């Protein structure tokens, strides 16, 4: 049985549909991220799971019990869930230890158990040496660790996180991504994480649900989502990509200025003829200073360097295939240096060209 299930959930605000027939099933101990741009419905979905707002249509269930429906909604405090907000919401007049232990005290646990569990979780989040500090004396990353400790110490059935790293600088965000994943691997709490940052979602999640205009466009493991997007929106939102339009006829896929043997793509087309669209990631394209022997196979074409940017870990090139009105982005290793205007050869790997709707 799934831990958390959303069945045909809709949320309307007057004539505006914020969440549009969302269906989602999350297993026990799974970490699922709701990823999408601002206004796509991800936070509204999370707030319905938490019980802060009721659905207009559909149901939300946990362990087979209906928590929310249009007619009734279990209050947030009775859902056995913990939620972490963007603002951390830790109390400034309490020490780190008092903040973390507050939820245990509300549950009227013995003082000795409160102290023990508070100490144990502070050790886990590497904050025990700051137990007597107040929030104003902590950095943003330390405050976020306190919020995590406070949410986890009560052993919730489900942990909800609403863009918890958005207030941190870039370096701290990267550090806390791995910290959140480490804590999940240790405690295996069923987790729903809302973010607009694809890097956060890729690092932390078992599966990612990409949302757009209130709907889930695709839900998959990060690797599958990145390499086999099912729609143009998903392909463009998860990382950078090139979109190529082609025409399938007989045994060839014809693009602007070149063609590739259709058999090189496997069974992606199911034997149909017509227009096809591909997502081609910049790092799947290779650049060569000289033509390759296998160029006759239809996967290597001539071109020219139009632009370049050095990003430290990679070169980011813009290349234009000969005889085509295309410009493709290509990422290469720092050691592969080409000048603007250089003639180059572009190698395509059909197996890494994802067919999208």
What lies within 8 Å, CB to CB, of 99 at 6+ separation is 90, 91, 135, 146, 150
For the chain, the maximum distance between any two Cα atoms, rounded to a whole number of angstroms, is 77
- CA-based R_g, the chain, Å: 25
Domain of residue 108, CATH code: 3.40.50.300
Q: Are residues 199 and 257 in the same domain?
A: no
Q: What is the per-residue pLDDT for 251? A: 81
Q: What is the per-residue pLDDT for 297? A: 47
What sign does the dihedral 144-92-102-131 (CA atoms) show? positive
Domain end marker among 237, 253, 274: 237
What's the mean pLDDT in 269-277? 72
- pLDDT tens-digit series, residues 80-117: 999 998 877 888 999 999 999 999 998 899 999 999 99
Q: How many helices (H) and strands (E) in the chain?
A: 8, 20
What's the mean pLDDT in 58-84? 94
Separation of alpha carbons 228 and 287, rounded Å: 23
Q: Are residues 221 and 73 in the same domain?
A: yes
Alpha carbons within 13 A on the beta-carbon side of 319 = 29
- Which residues span the domain enclosing 45? 4-237
Domain end marker among 220, 237, 254: 237
**Cβ neighbours, 10 Å, residue 100:** 30
Q: What is the per-residue pLDDT for 16? A: 96
Selection from 166-170, 261-265, 270-274, 304-308 with the highest mean pLDDT? 304-308
Contact indicator for 180, 204 with CB cutoff of 8 Å: yes
Percent above pLDDT 70 for the chain? 96
The answer on pLDDT for 248 being more than 90 is no
Look up residue 257 and give its DSSP letter: T
- pLDDT tens-digit series, residues 144-187: 889 999 999 999 999 999 998 888 888 888 888 999 999 999 99
Separation of alpha carbons 152 and 147, rounded Å: 9
Q: What is the per-residue pLDDT for 58? A: 97
Task: Give how far the C-alpha of residue 200 lies from the chain's centroid of Cα atoms, to the nearest Å.
Answer: 6
Q: Are residues 210 and 285 in the same domain?
A: no
Q: Are residues 230 and 288 in the same domain?
A: no
Domain end marker among 237, 269, 300: 237
Task: Give how far the C-alpha of residue 107 lies from the chain's centroid of Cα atoms, to the nearest Å.
Answer: 34
- pLDDT tens-digit series, residues 45-59: 999 999 999 999 999
What's the mean pLDDT in 267-274? 62
The answer on pLDDT for 295 being more than 60 is no
Separation of alpha carbons 143 and 138, rounded Å: 6
At 173, list the tokens: 């965000």
Q: What is the per-residue pLDDT for 224? A: 95
The answer on pLDDT for 221 being more than 90 is yes
At 139, list the tokens: 């950095």
Confidence of residue 296 (pLDDT cuts 50, 70, 90): very low
Contact indicator for 98, 122 with CB cutoff of 8 Å: no
What's the mean pLDDT in 233-262? 89
Q: Are residues 217 and 269 in the same domain?
A: no
Separation of alpha carbons 104 and 183, rounded Å: 19
What's the mean pLDDT in 321-336? 93
Q: Are residues 202 and 157 in the same domain?
A: yes
Q: Hunting for tokens 């006759």 — which residue is that?
A: 296
Q: Are residues 264 and 199 in the same domain?
A: no
Confidence of residue 339 (pLDDT cuts 50, 70, 90): very high
Q: Are residues 61 and 200 in the same domain?
A: yes
Q: Are residues 193 and 278 in the same domain?
A: no
**How many structural domains does the chain have?**
2
Residue (of 299, 310, 311, 301) closest to 339 by Cα position: 310
- pLDDT tens-digit series, residues 16-40: 999 999 999 999 999 999 999 999 9
Q: What is the pTM of this model?
A: 0.89
Q: Are residues 74 and 136 in the same domain?
A: yes
Average pLDDT of the chain to the nearest whole number? 91
Confidence of residue 266 (pLDDT cuts 50, 70, 90): low
Domain of residue 301, CATH code: 2.40.50.140
Element (H, E) at 346: strand 343-347
Q: What is the per-residue pLDDT for 273? A: 62
Q: Are residues 326 and 228 in the same domain?
A: no
At 160, list the tokens: 């909800």
Q: Are residues 44 and 160 in the same domain?
A: yes
How far lies 68's CA from each of 2, 33, 45, 156, in Å?
Answer: 16, 20, 12, 18
């Amino acid at each position: 049985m799934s831990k958390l299930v959303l069945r045909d959930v809709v949320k309307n605000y007057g004539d505006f549909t914020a969440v549009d027939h969302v269906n989602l099933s999350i297993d026990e101990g799974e970490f699922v991220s709701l990823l999408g741009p601002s206004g796509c419905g991800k936070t509204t979905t999370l707030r319905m799971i938490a019980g802060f707002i009721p659905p207009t249509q559909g149901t939300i269930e946990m362990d087979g019990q209906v928590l929310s429906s249009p007619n009734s909604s279990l209050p947030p405090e009775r859902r056995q869930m913990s939620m972490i907000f963007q603002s951390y919401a830790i109390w400034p007049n309490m020490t780190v230890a008092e903040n973390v232990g507050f939820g245990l005290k509300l549950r009227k646990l013995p003082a000795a158990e409160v102290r023990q569990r508070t100490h144990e979780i502070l050790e886990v989040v590497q904050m025990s040496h700051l137990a007597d500090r107040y929030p104003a004396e902590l950095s943003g990353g330390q405050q976020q660790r306190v919020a995590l400790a406070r949410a986890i110490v009560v052993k919730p059935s489900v942990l909800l996180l609403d863009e918890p790293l958005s207030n941190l600088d870039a370096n701290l965000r990267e550090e806390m991504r791995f910290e959140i994943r480490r804590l999940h691997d240790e405690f295996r709490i069923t987790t729903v994480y809302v973010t607009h940052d694809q890097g956060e979602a890729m690092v932390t999640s078992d599966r990612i649900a990409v949302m757009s205009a209130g709907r889930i466009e695709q839900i998959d493991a990060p690797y599958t989502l990145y390499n086999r997007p099912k729609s143009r929106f998903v392909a463009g939102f998860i990382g950078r990509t090139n979109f190529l339009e082609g025409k399938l006829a007989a045994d060839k896929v014809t693009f602007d200025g070149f063609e590739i043997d259709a058999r090189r793509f496997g069974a992606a087309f199911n034997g149909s003829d017509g227009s096809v669209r591909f997502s081609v990631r910049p790092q799947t394209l290779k650049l060569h200073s000289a033509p390759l022997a296998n160029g006759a196979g239809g996967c290597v074409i001539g071109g020219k360097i139009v632009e370049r940017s050095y990003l430290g870990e990679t070169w980011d090139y813009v290349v234009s295939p000969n005889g085509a009105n295309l410009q493709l982005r290509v990422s290469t290793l720092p050691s592969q240096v080409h000048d603007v205007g250089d003639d180059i050869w572009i190698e395509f790997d059909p197996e890494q060209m994802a067919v999208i709707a």
